[in-house]
Chain A
Amino acid sequence: MTTQGEPTQPIPEAELVQAIQQATDEVFTTMLNLTLTPGDMFVEKADPAPTSGVVSLIGLAGTWVGSGSLFCSAEFAIKIASALLMTEYEAMNEDVLDAVAEVTNMIIGNVKTALENRLGAMGLSTPTVIYGRNFQTRSTGTQEWTVVPFFLDGTRMCVQLCIAPNTDSTKKTTRTGFPIPHVLRS
């Protein structure tokens, strides 16, 4: 296992996508008993357009730093909570947001585990979940987001990740929090 090998080359896109797809598939089939259909990945370089729904964010920090997130509609979030908790939810509430946060935690946590063999140990922050209308999230930095969409009954969910070598040598220990500041605009 690489611990402080300090790899600084970009991770191949295919490797990131595979890690995201495997982690997402495992979480949904194991804990939600749902099978998602993966869509074509894309790289997002510009700020995303304002949107509505639920976004759940988790920070990664270590020799490499970054963020992972899950974005979906309120409808999709309600499906996630209903399947995870085996309870039929009809509207957004705290249980639904908590379920989305935990699903994000498991997906990004497993992506992190898959990448740690190559990138060294990383810490994982606790998730932050935002639900709203007509909002926009952006990272203050130049990182590109690798976005992997998934479909369920015609609705879409995206799992996305941006990760880069930690250029600040004083911050190479693992810690929780968001190493890449996020801005929320509405």
Chain B
Amino acid sequence: MLDVLIVDDSAAIRKILQRVLRQTDIPIGDVHEAGDGVEALEKMRQQSIGLVLSDINMPNMDGLEFLTKVRAEPDWQRIPIVMVSTEGTHAKVLEAVERGASGYVRKPFTAEQIKEKLAGLL
């Protein structure tokens, strides 16, 4: 079973992503939630997370800084991290990939887009 961490300052998006995850064929275990990068790092330390879906624009610590901090930890370098953001420019996607993102889905998204992205990673 795969424990998942959803990082987004919107409770609505966290709820939608959780619903989409439950619709996939992926054996999802516990789904943890965080409202910003700081909270997400705490959850990463407390839980054995196997997949992360993260927004970029968030208060306190944004998704790109969170991504950089995760990839700086040797134990977390192989965890798939998919960025899910309204930021849609090529430059922003490239920056996320350079910092270690495993995938990128632009908001608004369909359930199928999320499922396809995860199927390609897991």
- Which residue of A27, A85, A110, A176 is within 8 Å of B12 (Cβ)? A85
Q: Say yes or no: A1-B57 contact (C-beta < 8 A), given A30-B109, A106-B107.
A: no
A142-186 interface mask toward B, CB cutoff 8 Å, 1 = contact, 0 = none?
A: 000000000000000000000000000000000010000000000
Q: Which residues of B contact A116 (CB under 8 A)?
A: 89
Number of A-B contacts (CB under 8 A): 66
Q: Which residues of A contact B2 (CB under 8 A)?
A: none
Q: Is there an interface contact between A105 and B110, defined as CB atoms closer than 8 Å?
A: no
Q: Is there an interface contact between B57 and A121, defined as CB atoms closer than 8 Å?
A: no
User: Can you name 4 extra interface pairs (CB under 8 A) apart from A110-B108, A124-B57?
Assistant: A26-B108, A30-B108, A85-B12, A94-B11
Total residues of chain A contacting the partner, CB 8 A: 27
What's the minimum C-beta distance from B48 to chain A, rounded to whole angstroms?
29
Q: Which residues of A contact B16 (CB under 8 A)?
A: 31, 84-85
Q: Which residues of B contact A102 (CB under 8 A)?
A: 10, 12-13
Q: Say yes or no: A113-B109 contact (C-beta < 8 A), given A85-B15, A105-B57, A124-B57.
A: no
Within 8 A of B (CB), among A90-124: 94-95, 98-99, 101-102, 105-106, 109-110, 112-113, 116-117, 121, 124
- Which residue of A95, A110, A117 is within 8 Å of B86 (Cβ)? A110
Q: Is there an interface contact between A126 and B59, defined as CB atoms closer than 8 Å?
A: yes
Q: Say if the beta carbon of B33 comes within 8 Å of chain A.
A: no
Q: Say if the beta carbon of B29 comes within 8 Å of chain A.
A: no
Show the binding face of A for B, using Cβ within 8 Å: 1, 26-27, 30-31, 81, 84-86, 94-95, 98-99, 101-102, 105-106, 109-110, 112-113, 116-117, 121, 124, 126, 176
Show the binding face of B for A, using Cβ within 8 Å: 9-13, 15-16, 19, 57-59, 85-91, 107-110
Closest residue of chain A to B90 (Cβ to Cβ) is A1
Q: Is there an interface contact between A1 and B10, defined as CB atoms closer than 8 Å?
A: no
Q: Say yes or no: A101-B10 contact (C-beta < 8 A), given A30-B108, A30-B110.
A: yes
Q: Say yes or no: A1-B11 contact (C-beta < 8 A), given A27-B108, A126-B57.
A: no
Q: Which residues of B contact A86 (CB under 8 A)?
A: 19
Q: Which residues of A contact B90 (CB under 8 A)?
A: 1
Closest residue of chain A to B36 (Cβ to Cβ) is A126
- Which residue of A26, A98, A121 is within 8 Å of B10 (Cβ)? A98
Q: Is there an interface contact between B91 and A121, defined as CB atoms closer than 8 Å?
A: yes
